[in-house]
């Protein structure tokens, strides 16, 4: 469980917004990607200190990562948040980073922002747990900074929309470690003035027994994929008609091109369907995926609420009556994160072993190919 004073901050944003760079300022083990390339393929917590107090910065997968589908990205976030909640660890704050070198706010930006808001929930915004920061100002010319200020203002309007004015925070411009550390200090100070860490909306929805798809963030993705499916179906019918016309005209070259396009489209449709299937997972499924298939969570339904200045957890067991216990239980925060770190390492190890097997297969195939070409080498 989480001890008073312990700070856990998630750093979120699109790929290339500078999440890993931000964390690298305070823990050199955070690996940095460059440009649109993402180095973050798993959610990882890095230990640091804020004004002498233990803190953890959580590096997340880019919300629009080109290499990973949005269903997978949300599933990974839901999995980590479920594992943290299982150990009574909750976020003290969240930082959303926006790359200010982008020339405009796109539909993709606003879509990702809507998902972020639904993941967090309005309470997180009303309690001032959310911080917006813009990055890469040092890469802009004077003329570029003028345009960037207009982009920042537009993104701010989108970001704080529906949030009461008195709960809105100033947007921070990050040009180096000093500004980044100032953000951490402000989050720690705000967290100290609250009764304690609280679950995000996604965590509450999953704890209520919903699948990821049934949560507000998941439903947004599901709706998006359903619209995508309609577009796919329409294009597929067009290709089928084009193929019939090419066949009637005995245009073999056109037939091959259309057939290749149809195959490519069907493959893309299949990937989207598989990604959507990830959203059928419940909290129990997520915990087993994170801690291992043998992991067993106590059958319970948690309802978190505030009583005065104490955050409590009401836990209902199947064999005992309900009992109200302190949110900050007997287990230390470090122990809880030790379990989560251990699971993270296990996941990373499995990924490395899989990559190693794929590499060995590739080497074997290359050797076979080289051998077959040896007469001409």
Annotate 68-137 with DSSP letters as a single string. Answer: S-HHHHHHHHHHHHHHHHHTT---SEEEEEEETTSSS--HHHHHHHHHHHHHH-HHHHHTT-EEEEEE-G
Q: What is the pTM of this model?
A: 0.77
Same domain for 160 and 117: yes
Same domain, residue pair 70 and 121? yes
Q: Is residue 114 domain-shared with residue 220, that is, in the same domain?
A: no
Going by DSSP bridges, is the β-strand pair 130-135/7-13 parallel, antiparallel, or unpaired?
A: unpaired
Q: Is residue 138 part of a domain?
A: yes
- Is residue 41, in this structure, part of any structural domain at all? yes
Answer whether residue 343 shows pLDDT above 70.
Answer: no
pLDDT by residue (tens digit) across 80-136? 999 999 988 899 999 999 999 998 899 999 999 999 999 999 999 999 999 999 999
Of 96, 91, 164, 171, whose CA–CA distance to 126 is shortest?
164
* pLDDT for the residue 305: 40
Looking at residue 6, what is its pLDDT?
Answer: 80
Kindly state whether residue 330 falls inside one of the protein's structural domains: no
Both 162 and 27 in a single domain? Answer: yes
Mean pLDDT to the nearest integer, 146-160: 94
Average pLDDT of the chain is 82
For 255-308, the DSSP string reads HHHHHHHHHHHHHHHHHHHHHHHGGG--HHHHHHHHH-TT-----EEEEEEEET
Once rounded to an integer, what is the mean pLDDT over residues 352-369? 67
Q: How many domains are there within the chain?
A: 2
Is 203 within the bounds of a domain? no
| Residue 229: domain span | 212-280
* Share above pLDDT 90 across residues of the chain, in percent, rounded to a whole number: 61
Average pLDDT over residues 147-164: 93
Are 43 and 58 spatial neighbours (Cβ–Cβ below 8 Å)? yes
pLDDT value at position 304? 46
Residues 248 and 124 in one domain: no
pLDDT digits (tens, 9 = 90+) for 106-121: 999 999 999 999 999 9
pLDDT above 50 for 237: yes
Contact 19, 13 (CB under 8 A): yes
User: pLDDT by residue (tens digit) across 196-215?
Assistant: 789 999 999 999 999 999 99
Same domain flag for 59 and 104: yes
Please say if the pLDDT value at position 10 is more than 60: yes
Write down the pLDDT at residue 360. 76
Helix and strand numbers, DSSP H then E, in the chain: 11, 9
Q: Are residues 151 and 105 in the same domain?
A: yes
What's the confidence (pLDDT) of residue 36? Answer: 44
CA 177 – CA 85 distance, rounded (Å): 30
Whole-number Å distance between alpha carbons of 254 and 249: 10
* Kind and range of the H or E run holding 47: strand 44-50
**Residue at 258 is within a domain:** yes
Domain end residue (candidates: 196, 222, 239): 196
Instruction: Name which of 130, 145, 113 is nearest 183 in CA terms.
Output: 130
Give domain status of residue 295, yes or no: no
**167/257 same-domain check:** no
Please tell me whether residues 240 and 183 are part of one structural domain: no
pLDDT (average), residues 136-157: 94
Question: In the block, which residue shows the tokens 């994160």?
Answer: 337
236 & 133 share domain = no
Confidence band of 352 (pLDDT split at 50, 70, 90): confident
* CATH of residue 94: 3.40.50.300
Residue 334 forms part of a structural domain: no
**Structure token pair of residue 191:** 């967290």
> What's residue 197's pLDDT?
81
pLDDT at 32: 59
Query: In the structure, what pLDDT confidence band is assigned to residue 346 with cuts at 50, 70 and 90?
Result: low
Same domain, 218 and 251: yes
Asked whether residue 41 carries a pLDDT value surpassing 90, the answer given is no
Task: Tell me if 306 is assigned to some domain.
Answer: no
Residues 172 and 41 in one domain: yes
Return the pLDDT at 337: 54
pLDDT in tens, 182-191: 999 999 999 9
pLDDT of residue 42: 81
Lowest mean pLDDT of 7-11, 54-58, 361-365, name the range. 361-365
């Amino acid at each position: 469980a989480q001890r008073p004073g312990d700070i856990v901050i998630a750093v979120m944003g699109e790929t290339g917004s500078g999440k890993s760079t931000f964390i690298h300022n305070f823990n050199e083990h955070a690996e940095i990607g460059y440009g649109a390339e993402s180095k973050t393929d798993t959610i990882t917590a890095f230990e640091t200190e804020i004004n002498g107090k233990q803190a953890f910065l959580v590096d997340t997968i880019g919300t629009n990562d080109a290499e990973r589908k949005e269903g997978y990205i949300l599933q990974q976030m839901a999995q980590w948040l479920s594992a943290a909640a299982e150990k009574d660890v909750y976020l003290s704050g969240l930082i959303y980073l926006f790359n200010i070198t982008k020339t405009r706010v796109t539909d993709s930006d606003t879509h990702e922002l809507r998902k972020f808001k639904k993941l967090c929930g309005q309470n997180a915004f009303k309690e001032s747990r959310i911080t917006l920061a813009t990055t890469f100002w040092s890469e802009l010319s004077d003329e570029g900074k003028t345009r960037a200020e207009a982009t920042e203002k537009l993104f701010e309007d989108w970001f704080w929309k529906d949030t009461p004015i008195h709960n809105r925070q100033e947007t921070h411009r990050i040009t180096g470690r000093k500004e980044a550390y100032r953000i951490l200090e402000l989050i720690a100070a705000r967290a100290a003035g609250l009764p304690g860490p609280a679950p995000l909306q996604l965590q509450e929805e999953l704890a209520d027994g919903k699948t990821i798809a049934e949560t507000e963030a998941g439903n947004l993705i599901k709706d998006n994929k359903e619209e995508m499916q309609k577009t796919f179906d329409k294009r597929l019918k067009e290709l089928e008609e084009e193929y019939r016309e090419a066949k009637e005209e005995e245009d073999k070259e056109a037939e091959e091109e259309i057939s290749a396009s149809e195959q490519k489209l069907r493959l893309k449709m299949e990937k989207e369907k598989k990604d959507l299937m990830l959203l059928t997972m419940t909290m129990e499924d997520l915990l087993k995926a994170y801690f291992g298939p043998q992991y067993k969570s106590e059958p319970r339904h948690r309802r978190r609420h505030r009583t005065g200045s104490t955050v409590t957890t009401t836990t209902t067991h199947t064999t005992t009556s309900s009992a109200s216990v302190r949110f900050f239980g007997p287990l230390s925060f470090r122990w809880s994160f030790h379990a989560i770190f251990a699971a993270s390492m296990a996941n990373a190890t499995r990924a490395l072993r899989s990559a190693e097997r794929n590499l060995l297969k590739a080497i074997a195939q290359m050797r076979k190919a080289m051998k077959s070409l040896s007469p001409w080498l």
